């Protein structure tokens, strides 16, 4: 027996994501799991479970890796509920409301922004999300982007510099000057607090030339590449991301055959954000097309105050199954191991020896219930770094 060890036993269904026996979820029945020093130390049959200092009886429930939300915008101020109501009344989504949040975020105090991130991060944890990526992108000045990332870094190691979210109003007639600032003083101020760089490569935001220039500057500064691409219509974003070796291209709603082929021949993950389509009444991405082509798919919330104000990965799993033709197993994998791949993390998104002990115990016997019982609070308990939360 190891001091400080924790045994989770009487697990009816253990989702490991180890791919054993050709099953991507690597499901084990009547299982147990041992945690030591914040990591998974052992998994196996409950009948062979080792002794431990503490024990959690799963009572025959399903245990899954904690969700990995690889796309979230949590550093913001203000509310855009009226914009949502207008969309539900028939107004189209164009992305223009981002500037409303920029104004509110610039006016907010550090304490207010920190409180919002903390509230949403706690909300995510209660719903089983143990790893989250957090972007900047609502400051769009040198000082505001740096402080957004500094605050985000208090809550996650996966922080993303999104100074190229939209061109702010004061640069509307000088987009080249804004790109120059993003690549220069803004990147210099933001990079110490960021792991990734991202660009919103869409009509009304940044074209391919500007996106390429910004991402290249970020790479030169040592940041990994991510990209918002092909959300509002077909465009060059997906293939640009693949060309630059992006870890992930996100949204992927409007894809050509060439886009799908490029993704299938690369290590770039297609991160799908069904909360955005739900909240904007837009067409959902065709996940089935991507999966059948051999593309690695992740699911994430895109939590933001305008186009996807949800922090619930279980909700996104249910949407992916109902609206994007994913099987429940595919959706759960995409929300765990897929998210880890999108962040190029090997320590999360799985429950195998050596992985971080991030897990969720469902109030259900199987992962199937995440889609089968949409909207029901099925997360009974969360362990983060081996600590019950």
Q: How far apart are CA 22 and CA 167, in angstroms?
A: 47
Looking only at the bridges linking them, the beta strands covering 39-45 and 28-36 are: antiparallel
10 is in an annotated binding site: no
165 is in an annotated binding site: yes
322 is in an annotated binding site: no
80 is in an annotated binding site: yes
210 is in an annotated binding site: no
CB distance 18 to 40 below 8 Å? no
* C-alpha closest to that of 146 among 98, 192, 213, 78: 192
DSSP 222: T
171 is in an annotated binding site: no
73 is in an annotated binding site: yes
Count of CB atoms situated within 10 Å of the CB of 120 = 23
138 is in an annotated binding site: yes
Q: How far apart are CA 269 and CA 263, in angstroms?
A: 7
307 is in an annotated binding site: yes
254 is in an annotated binding site: no
H/E stretch holding 8 reads strand 6-14
SS3 call for 256: coil
219 is in an annotated binding site: no
CB distance 326 to 285 below 8 Å? no
Instruction: List binding-site positions for Fe(3+).
Output: 71, 73, 228, 302
| Annotated binding-site positions for Zn(2+) | 71, 73, 228, 302
- Return binding residues: 71, 73, 80, 138, 165, 228, 231, 302, 304, 306-307
Numbered residues of the known binding site for 4-imidazolone-5-propanoate? 80, 138, 165, 231, 307
């Amino acid at each position: 027996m190891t001091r400080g060890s924790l045994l989770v036993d009487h697990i009816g269904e253990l989702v490991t994501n180890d791919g054993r026996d050709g099953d991507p979820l690597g499901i084990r029945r009547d299982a147990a799991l041992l945690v030591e020093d914040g990591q998974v130390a052992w998994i196996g049959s409950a009948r062979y479970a080792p002794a431990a200092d503490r024990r959690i009886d799963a009572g025959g429930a399903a245990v899954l890796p904690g969700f990995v939300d690889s796309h979230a915008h949590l550093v913001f101020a203000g509310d855009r509920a009226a914009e949502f109501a207008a969309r539900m009344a028939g107004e189209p989504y164009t992305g223009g409301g981002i500037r409303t949040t920029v104004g509110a975020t610039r006016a907010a105090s550090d304490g207010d922004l920190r409180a919002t991130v903390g509230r949403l991060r706690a909300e995510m944890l209660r719903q089983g999300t143990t790893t989250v990526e957090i972007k900047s992108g609502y400051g769009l000045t040198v000082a505001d982007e740096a402080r957004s990332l500094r605050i985000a870094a208090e809550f996650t190691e996966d922080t993303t510099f999104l100074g190229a979210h939209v061109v702010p109003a004061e640069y509307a007639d000088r987009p080249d000057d804004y790109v120059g600032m993003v690549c220069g003083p803004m990147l210099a101020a933001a990079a110490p607090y960021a792991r990734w760089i991202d660009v919103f490569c869409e009509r009304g935001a940044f074209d391919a030339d500007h996106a390429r220039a910004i991402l290249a500057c970020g790479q030169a500064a040592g940041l990994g590449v991510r990209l918002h691409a092909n959300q509002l219509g077909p465009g060059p974003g997906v293939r640009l991301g693949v060309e630059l070796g992006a870890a992930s291209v996100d949204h992927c709603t409007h894809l050509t055959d060439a886009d799908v082929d490029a993704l299938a021949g690369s290590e770039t993950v297609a991160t799908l954000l069904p909360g955005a389509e739900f909240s904007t009444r837009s067409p959902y991405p065709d996940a089935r097309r991507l999966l059948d082509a051999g593309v690695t798919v992740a699911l994430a919330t895109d939590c933001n105050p305008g186009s996807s104000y949800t922090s619930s990965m279980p909700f996104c799993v249910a949407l992916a199954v109902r609206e994007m033709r994913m099987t429940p197993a595919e959706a759960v994998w995409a929300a765990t191991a897929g998210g880890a791949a999108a962040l190029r993390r090997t320590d999360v998104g799985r429950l195998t020896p050596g992985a971080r002990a991030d897990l969720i115990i469902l109030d259900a016997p199987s992962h199937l219930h995440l889609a089968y019982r949409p909207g029901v609070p099925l997360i009974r308990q969360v362990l983060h770094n081996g600590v019950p939360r």
